[in-house]
Amino acid sequence: YGGGGPTHDREMERMAEQLRQLQAKVDGRAERRARGHLFSADILATPLPNNYKNTNLVFDGTSDPSRHVRTFENMAVLHEYTDPVSCRAFLSTLKGGALDWFQQLPPGSIVDFEDFAEKLTNQYSSAVAQEKTYFTFMAMRQGEKESLRKYVTRYNQACLEIPSAVDEVKAGGLIRSLRAGPCRTSLAKTPAHTYDEVLRRCRKYINLEETEAEFAKLEELGRWESRKEKAVSPKRKASPRREGRAKQDRGREDRWKDRPISGGKRFYDYTPLNAKVAEVLMAMEKGIDGKDRGTIYMISGGPTDGDSNNARRGHVRAMKRKREEVSITARVPEISFRAEDAAGVVVPHNDALVITAEVAGFDVKRVFIDTGSSVDVMFYDCFVQINRELNVELKPVATALYGFNGGEVMPMGEVTLSVALGKGATRKVRMVRFVVVRAESSYNIIMGRTSLNVFQAVVSTYHMMIKYPVGENVGEIAGDQLTSRRCYQTTVSNNKQLARKHMHPKGEE
């Protein structure tokens, strides 16, 4: 501008005054807003990120506040929330009585997230879950009518809630807490040295207890007599010869009716052919000719078809009902293997198929594809590494796994995680339920038939490849032959050491 005269100066002063008034209005509104709100002015002044989405977490004051805070903190770390954003996002999780409590706080009383979380935890401290200690499961006892399966499951869940529990203490606590019976007697006569061994031996008596219960039902329901009563042949007068035979039969029946139950062998200890149940089970293990059978190992058991005998029988009945109901309307692309699919594979070979899969966002190597396994197994060391970020809890499992080193292993629990195969356009994601096992293994994960069927995957061990449908396309994952051979070498070495260790096993009842 050239030179400014008096008129120009007055105009500039007028504009400056308008700006001061406008700024005062803005400051006044912010001050009134801060005074009326429970958050400090700094928290309110911080904008939310552009990609912010409300969380699905809810706290209404009836659950453990400390657990809610920990869950939210993990989510805040994942989304890289700043402290002010964490405060505002945490407020959106409060509902019901918890939100009413927040509205009664003095204005401006929340200055940061730590302060917010502390106030909430103190307010609802009565709902904080009591920290489990050794005394928790040391005080446990098997109920008078509680089955061995239910109690072992309940006890195992209590132990999982105390990660620092010593193995020997857990084993001793379980033995002492069992109701008087064959299982406790066996464990007292031949002590077990590890908690896993105690669980394995309990499993034998769980099977025996459930088998005896089945025979007890046969006696109570009178199944054998009801079959005679339901005969469709018409009744006719018995001849003298038949009448004499009938009296003889009634005499045999009276033998069982007159026999006292207490102090003698119960009827359900025998099969309908008067063979002891224990002897029949032993014969099944030994074989018909009395010789020990060879063992064909595969991983089976677990909760795949249910975690009880009734659930597994229901799974079989469902198969019979739905055999004719299979729909062919869902079309999938044709999947085949060609010679070029084996490019890079050293042939001939007998290598296992080992791949890399994405599990819960982690690239997990040494994933063994085992079509002989009825369950999907995650080994504990792998679970620990993944769970550092996820912080999920294992759900209890009551069914043992068979096939690890020729024996049975009681799972630590189960967890459902996302599994992704492939990249880009052929990426396919499904939720998979893993049984977590603490056992020696050169693998991180074993993908069995359950997950392979979920992905509709087709396996070719010769081509060292998996193929699976993705819409109208076909995705594929090549195996790592070198890693497969390294895993095999490690497995063989571990099995040799285990064989030497158990060269002279101790006997047990």
Domain count, the chain: 3
Q: Which of 145-154, 300-309, 371-380, 437-446 has the lowest mean pLDDT?
A: 300-309
Whether residue 300 has pLDDT greater than 70:
no
Q: So what's the pLDDT on residue 326? A: 47
Q: Do 357 and 279 belong to one domain?
A: no
Specify whether 495 is located in the same domain as 444.
yes
Is residue 273 over pLDDT 80? no
pLDDT of residue 315: 52
- Where is average pLDDT lowest: 67-81, 186-200, 301-315, 407-421? 301-315
Same domain, 122 and 188: no
Query: Is the pLDDT reported for residue 405 higher than 90?
Result: no
Give the model's confidence band at 381: pLDDT under 50 very low, under 70 low, under 90 confident, else very high: very high
Domain closes at, from 90, 111, 127: 127
pLDDT-derived band at 256, boundaries 50, 70, 90: very low
Kindly state the tokens that stand for 492: 């063989």
- With tokens 């406008």, the residue in question is 22
Q: Is residue 153 part of a domain?
A: yes
**Looking at the structure, do residues 485 and 460 belong to the same domain, yes or no?**
yes
Q: Is residue 207 part of a domain?
A: yes
- Measured distance CA(447)–CA(382) in Å, rounded: 14
Q: What is the DSSP string of 391-421?
A: ---PBP--S-EEEETTEEE---EEEEEEEEE
Does residue 234 form part of some domain? no
Q: What is the pLDDT of residues 204-235, one digit of tens each?
A: 888 888 877 777 776 666 655 555 555 545 55
Pairing of the two strands 473-478 and 465-470: antiparallel
Q: What pLDDT is attached to residue 163?
A: 66
Percent of the chain with pLDDT over 70: 67
Predicted confidence (pLDDT) at residue 297 exceeds the cutoff of 50: no
Domain that holds residue 162: 134-222+256-286
For the ranges 15-19, 329-333, 465-469, 505-509, the maximum mean pLDDT occurs at 465-469
Please tell me whether residues 194 and 273 are part of one structural domain.
Answer: yes
**Do residue 417 and residue 280 come from a single domain?**
no
CA angle 396, 401, 406 (to 5 degrees): 150
Same domain, yes or no: 100 and 212: no
Question: Is 327 part of a structural domain of the chain?
Answer: no
Mean pLDDT throughout 282-298? 44
Task: Confirm whether 311 is domain-assigned.
Answer: no
* pLDDT band at residue 287 using 50, 70 and 90 as cut-offs: very low
| Domain limit, last residue, from 127, 159, 191 | 127
pLDDT greater than 90 at residue 374: no
**Separation in Å, CA 37 to CA 44, 93, 435:** 9, 17, 49
- Determine which of 10-24, 163-177, 335-349 has the lowest per-residue pLDDT on average: 10-24
Q: Are residues 402 and 489 in the same domain?
A: yes
Q: Check if the beta carbon of residue 182 is closer than 8 Å to that of residue 135.
A: no
Whether the pLDDT of residue 447 is over 80: the answer is yes
pLDDT digits (tens, 9 = 90+) for 325-341: 444 445 789 999 999 99
- One domain, residues 106 and 162: no
Q: What is the mean pLDDT of the chain?
A: 76
Helix (H) or strand (E) holding 374: none
Over 50: is that where the pLDDT of 508 sits? Answer: no
Q: Are residues 354 and 417 in the same domain?
A: yes
pLDDT higher for 188 or 469?
469
- Same domain membership, residue 160 and residue 108: no
Whichever domain contains 151, its CATH number is: 1.10.1200.30
In the predicted model, what is the mean pLDDT of residues 275-282?
50
- Say if 240 falls within a structural domain: no
The answer to the question of residue 235 being in a domain is no
User: In whole angstroms, what is the distance from residue 153 CA to residue 157 CA?
Assistant: 6
| Cα atoms found within 13 Å of the Cα of residue 301, Cβ hemisphere only | 20
User: Cis ω on the peptide bond leading into residue 303 (within 30° of 0)?
Assistant: no
Q: Which of 92, 127, 162 is the last residue of a domain?
A: 127
One domain, residues 403 and 472: yes
pLDDT band with cut points at 50, 70 and 90 for residue 255 = very low
Look at residue 481 in the predicted model and tell me its pLDDT: 92
Flag whether 3 is in a domain.
Answer: no
Question: Both tokens of residue 138?
Answer: 């040391």
What was the pLDDT predicted at 230? 56
Reported as a pLDDT band with limits 50, 70 and 90, residue 3 is low
